Amino acid sequence: MNRAKHIAIIMDGNGRWAELHNQKRVKGHERGAKIVKEITKFCVECVDIQRLTLYAFSTENWKRPTLEVEFLMKLLEKYLKKELSTYIQFNIKFEPIGDISAFSSSLVKTIKNVQEKTAHCDGLVQSLALNYGSHDEMLRAINKLNSIDEDITEATLSDALDCKHNVDLLIRTGGDHRLSNFLLWQSAYAELFFIDTLWPDFSSDELKKIIKKFKKIERRFGALK
Ligand code: IPE
Ligand code: IPE
Ligand code: MG
């Protein structure tokens, strides 16, 4: 049976959830943050899962209204500060991916602090994709490798990426069937699950059901059975 060692999630549908409940979009993001905590804690308990990568803010999300972007930045900072003790308590290592240099110095400091304080943790790795886009990640990696004389190999390119780990199971909530610039290289052989549930309604029970289905899939990687 397959093991979902690396699960990646496109957490989509916060705004629509809020609209459905006659609330402002930001209320959906607030509720979404609670689900991040629930799902992370669930993954800690699953022996198979070593890595959980969550898409929190894309390189394209800057196109949103300033107030929403500002709210998301504040929410992220608040979440990381509040949950630092949870990361440590549950032995979770925090690893951001994406170009965080575009964030305010205070947010960068908070991100780096959680990263440093959880560097010793050797349980689940929770990776938040922050100002992340696969195209940007690949361009930064290629530019990093530019000065090297040898030919670039699959291994050297993979190692130069922010996320160096292939995805086993990729889930997108919110009903859309697209990857929106998320982990394109790493998901080459991921099993894809697109579900209608809006992120604030997602639960560990639903994740459990997806993992059960994932385990039964025949993953051939181009070979025959
Ligand atoms: C995903 O929810 C969260 C972020 C992109 C930060 P959305 O905000 O995209 O919610 P919908 O898709 O508009 O419902
Ligand atoms: C993808 O959701 C990004 C995150 C979940 C952070 P979007 O809502 O930004 O994606 P599109 O615009 O529908 O492709
Ligand atoms: Mg969306």
Q: Where are the domains of the chain?
A: 6-132+168-215
Q: Is position 61 annotated as part of the catalytic site?
A: yes
pLDDT (tens, 9 = 90+) of the chain, 225 residues, equals 999 999 999 999 999 999 999 999 999 999 999 999 999 999 999 999 999 999 999 999 999 999 999 999 999 999 999 999 999 999 999 999 999 999 999 999 999 999 999 999 999 999 999 999 999 999 999 999 999 999 999 999 999 999 999 999 999 999 999 999 999 999 999 999 999 999 999 999 999 999 999 999 999 999 998
Q: How far are the Cα atoms of 8, 18, 163, 164 from residue 154, in angstroms, in the given order?
A: 21, 42, 14, 11
d(CA 222, CA 179): 22
For helices 204-216 and 25-45, the axis angle rounded to 10 degrees is 60
Q: What residue owns the CA closest to ligand 1's atom 13? A: 15
Q: For residue 3, give every residue at least 6 positions away whose Cβ sits within 8 Å of its Cβ, in sequence order, or none.
A: 48, 168, 215
Looking only at the bridges linking them, the beta strands covering 93-94 and 169-172 are unpaired
* Active-site position among 12, 14, 131, 181: 12
| Residue to substitute in 60, 176, 180, 187 for testing ligand 2 pocket (most ligand atoms within 8 angstroms of CB) | 180
Looking at the CA of 14, name the nearest ligand.
1
Give the three-state DSSP class for 199: helix
Residue whose entry in the numeric block shows the structure tokens 């205070």: 106
User: Residue 165: which of 56, 5, 42, 54 has the closest Cα?
Assistant: 5
Q: Helices 105-117 and 66-89, interaxial angle, to 10°?
A: 20
- With respect to CATH, is domain 6-132+168-215 assigned 3.40.1180.10? yes
Which of 9, 25, 61 has most ligand 2 atoms within 8 Å of CB, for mutation? 61
Q: Respond yes or no: is residue 201 known to be catalytic.
A: no
Given the residues 2, 61, 113, 166, the one annotated as active site: 61
